[in-house]
Amino acid sequence: MTTPKAELHCHIEGATPPALAARLATKYGIDLSAWLRDGRYVWHDFSSFIACYAAIANVFRAEEDFADLAETYLGELAADGAIYSELFVSPEQGLAAGLSRDAYMRAITAGIEAAKAKTGIECRMVMIGERHMGPEQVEGAARYAVSCGFPLITGFNMAGDERMGCVADYARAFDIARDGGLKLTIHAGEVCGPGSVRDALDLVRPDRIGHGVRAVEEPALVRRLADEGVVLEVCPGSNIALSVYPDFRAHPLRRLVDAGVRVTLNSDDPPFFGTSLAREYEIAESELGFSPEETARMTETAIAAAFVDEETRERLFARLRG
Ligand SMILES: Nc1ncnc2[nH]cnc12
Ligand SMILES: [Zn+2]
């Protein structure tokens, strides 16, 4: 039997298989030649990755395209042993597709429900604001998240280019989300260093941090993460693909765990980085030196930190215990 897994950090459009992007581009007459060649996404650094991601996210046009993407991704995750997934969603993509935010949310919800009916995988959605679109867009995403009435949205997150602006500019968006009852996570300490993680802790007070790995550069900050029990959504394959670290030997996951930081394993944007959730578990064991017992503890941490009600959490823990 495959070991049970859980994923807290995956951007749904970032899970688009290249073959699906190619098929939709042909169907809708979109030129993807700058971004997709020989069945692989084309980018070479963080900025071109963000641009490539945006181009691929824009090939979706119909509700059924988004629904199929969510159902297919969750089906694959379940086949790899995942019992829980949090998908990062961007209703702005509904507008880009010529639909509406609600149509986008309906479609992803339909995909989630279909996957659950087939495989039993539990899933929640985390609303994304894109940092490089500026504070107004991110606040708009937070306002929509708390008012749209889709019950599977349980969290709010900011992704995008961490080098843009400062966290303080976005604090209001997180206040809106928190006041509306959503749990919070934020991309920090991926492209930028410990200062970015410290700002996130001070100004956003998140339940979790996306990546956060560069906190390792400041020992006092690592102690703070451990003391405060902040959970990191670590994506080792993504970090290597985006050259945050030159190779797995340089990756700080072991140092963070040894310092008592709570961590989970995630794929981020799997086909962009040549990875999958199952591959991240393999990487942790074969490249980063963790035992199966240790990766099982990371899955437990993911369930403990999942943005779900307590009854669902108990059910998920019961499934983990088998
Ligand atoms: N790894 C990443 N960092 C920031 N924004 C993203 N959007 C999609 N993937 C991302
Ligand atoms: Zn991410």
pLDDT tens digit string along 282-315?
A: 999 999 999 999 999 999 999 999 999 999 999 9
- Average pLDDT on 156-164 reads 96
| pLDDT, the chain, mean | 97
Measured between alpha carbons, how far is 11 from 223 in angstroms, rounded to an integer? 29
Q: What's residue 104's pLDDT?
A: 98
Q: Domains of the chain: which residue ranges? A: 5-321
- Average pLDDT on 143-156 reads 98
Q: What's residue 322's pLDDT?
A: 84
Q: Which residue's alpha carbon is at the smallest distance from atom 5 of ligand 1?
A: 160
Percent of the chain with pLDDT over 90: 98
pLDDT tens, residue by residue, 15-72: 999 999 999 999 999 999 999 999 999 999 999 999 999 999 999 999 999 999 999 9
**Which of 43, 186, 187, 273 most suits a substitution to test ligand 1, by most atoms within 8 Å of the C-beta?**
187
Contact 269, 11 (CB under 8 A): yes
Confidence label for 201 from pLDDT (cuts 50, 70 and 90):
very high
Q: What's residue 2's pLDDT?
A: 84
1 pLDDT above the threshold of 80: no
Indicate if ipTM > 0.85: yes
| Ligand with smallest separation from the Cα of 14 | 1
Q: Which helix (H) or strand (E) segment is 8 a member of?
A: strand 5-11
Phi, psi of 157 (to 5 degrees): -150, 155
Query: What length is written for the chain?
Result: 322
- Ion ligand 2 neighbours, Cβ < 5 Å: 268
Q: Which residues are annotated as a binding site?
A: 9, 11, 187, 268-269
Percent of the chain with pLDDT over 70: 100
Measured between alpha carbons, how far is 134 from 102 in angstroms, rounded to an integer? 22
Measured between alpha carbons, how far is 214 from 293 in angstroms, rounded to an integer? 25
The CA 52 to ligand 2 mean position distance, Å, reads 14
The CA 66 to ligand 1 mean position distance, Å, reads 19
Task: Give strand ranges (E) for 144-200.
Answer: 153-159, 183-188
- Average pLDDT on 83-97 reads 97
Measured between alpha carbons, how far is 206 from 179 in angstroms, rounded to an integer? 13
Atom of ligand 1 nearest to the CA of 269: 9
248 pLDDT above the threshold of 80: yes
Q: Which residues pair with 86 in a beta bridge?
A: 124
Considering only the top CATH level, what class is 5-321?
alpha beta
Q: Which residues are catalytic?
A: 190
**Which of 13, 41, 45, 50 most suits a substitution to test ligand 1, by most atoms within 8 Å of the C-beta?**
50
The CA 54 to ligand 1 mean position distance, Å, reads 11
The CA 243 to ligand 1 mean position distance, Å, reads 13
Q: Which residue's alpha carbon is at the smallest distance from atom 1 of ligand 1?
A: 268
Q: Which residues are annotated as a binding site for substrate?
A: 269
- Average pLDDT on 202-211 reads 98
- Average pLDDT on 236-261 reads 98
